[in-house]
Amino acid sequence: MDIDHSRAEDLEVLRAAFDPELCEPPLGWDALRAFEAEHGIVLPEPYRTFVAEIGDGCTDAPTEYGLIPLADMPSDWGDDRPRRDLAKPFPLTEQWLWEEDPRPEEEIDALLDPVFDHGSIVLGTDGCGMYWHLIVTGEHRGHIYLITGEGAGPFGAPFGFTTAEPGFAGWVKHWASGKSWFDAD
């Protein structure tokens, strides 16, 4: 998984997976760089090139309600959340099921906001509080996480539950193949 350079084969997968008729126009490089400068980040590849050259959101996408544009949030995100800080590192490097965490609730609550609001962009939602995030800063930069009301976990074969490659291209390729998200035995 190369998060600093677009591979031609990854871009081919992305172009083949998304119907341009169902996607928003690409953002373009100037607008993409302005977003990155505003937030103090550089988006991981190949998502970066996808947004600049292929599409900035798409209704037919890996999430139930589509791939949302870069600067947007899902309609069910809520307006009472803390301000998102994309430049602060995403805090997780492995699965965390806070519903099963034995620590006191106050301690867990203090750790939750950074999971939802630091170092990631929200790609979309499957509804019922299930959000797909692309990690943009921190140790897991370039990885996809499913973050729900019960816990969070990284996507990709190295983390279990699926046979898919990690990262944005692996996530899209897995979706386009029609496989279940949790296809590992």
Single-letter amino acid, residue 184: A
Task: Please state the rounded mean pLDDT for residues 32-42.
Answer: 97
Contact 62, 108 (CB under 8 A): no
Q: What average pLDDT does range 16-38 have in this prediction?
A: 96
Report pLDDT digits (tens) over 126-142.
Answer: 988 899 999 999 999 99
pLDDT at 181: 85
- Does residue 180 register a pLDDT over 90? no
Distance, in Å, from the CA atom of 134 to the CA atom of 47, rounded to the nearest integer, reads 9
User: What pLDDT score was predicted for residue 185?
Assistant: 63
pLDDT at residue 166, rounded to an integer: 95
- Statement: residue 1 has pLDDT above 80: no
